[in-house]
Amino acid sequence: MIKDITIGQYFPGNSVIHRMDARIKIIMTAVFIVMLFAANSVWGLLVGIAFTILTFIISKIPGKLMLKSLKPIVPIIIFTAILNLLFIRTGKAYFEWKFLKITDEGVDTAVFMMIRIICLIVGTSLLTYTTSPIDLTDAIERLLSPLKKIKVPVHELAMMMTIALRFIPTLIEETDKIMSAQKARGADMETGSLIQKAKALIPVLIPLFVASFRHAEELALAMECRCYHGGEGRTRMKQLHMSIVDLYGSIFCVLFLAGVIVINIVV
């Protein structure tokens, strides 16, 4: 399960989405999230699904990689669906027994939330799959640059967010190594009650925290050795430039959002 977590990974490629400006991709991701949760009907949700599928096809990301990113959130999706089924009690009852009651509104809401979460993970994963950490840092800093006028440390915030995102795969790999080492020493992490499984994770968490602090110290030392002083006077080897592709991508995204809004009004 640990190896299936792909958050923060970058998949190199030459697709249209890979070539888009990182700033536009961040804005499109925000618009996509609004699009998903603004849809209040089946037809509106279908528009969001169509947008997700089209962008996934255009990005040329392997389907296996996307399925791998969805695998860890399956328990969350199931848990969310069960909560909606059991706690939404309005509407026509499909099943009723003692305190349990499943209604048509509960089923509809559960299905809607499951589809939204899946589309949300797929759509937002494309941002990190198609954008390098350096471009992501520069894009976040540029988008937040107006906050510099009120003395907000924009560059430092962007750097921290990107470093955190960048080190997710590293920490996942470190966790997998530690768990393999503990299992080789006879640790049992797969059997027993929930409390026993939680206790079995303690020998994993302690060395993981130590390794995290070690990575942080090594990174800080490397940045100091390279005379890093934040965003002051910093130059960039690769400049962000918008092109006609970004214009078409923005129009493409806005049209889908407009489609959801129109459907909400008409239906």
Please state, as a whole number, how many other Cβ atoms lie within 10 Å of the Cβ of residue 160: 12
Global pTM value: 0.75
pLDDT of residue 54: 92
Q: 77-128: per-residue pLDDT in tens?
A: 888 888 888 777 777 777 777 777 778 788 888 888 888 888 888 888 888 8
Residues contacting 50, CB < 8 A, separation 6+? 256
Q: Between the CA of residue 253 and those of 7, 15, 28, 127, what are the distances in Å? A: 23, 17, 7, 14
Q: Each residue's pLDDT tens digit in the chain (267 positions)? A: 555 555 667 788 888 888 888 889 999 999 999 998 888 888 888 998 999 999 988 888 887 777 777 777 888 888 888 888 877 777 777 777 777 777 878 888 888 888 888 888 888 888 888 888 778 878 887 888 888 788 778 777 877 777 777 777 777 778 878 888 877 877 776 776 767 777 777 778 888 888 888 888 888 888 888 777 766 666 666 677 778 888 888 899 999 999 999 998 887
CB-based contact 14:84 (threshold 8 Å)? no
**Domain-by-domain residue ranges, the chain?**
2-266
pLDDT of residue 5: 58
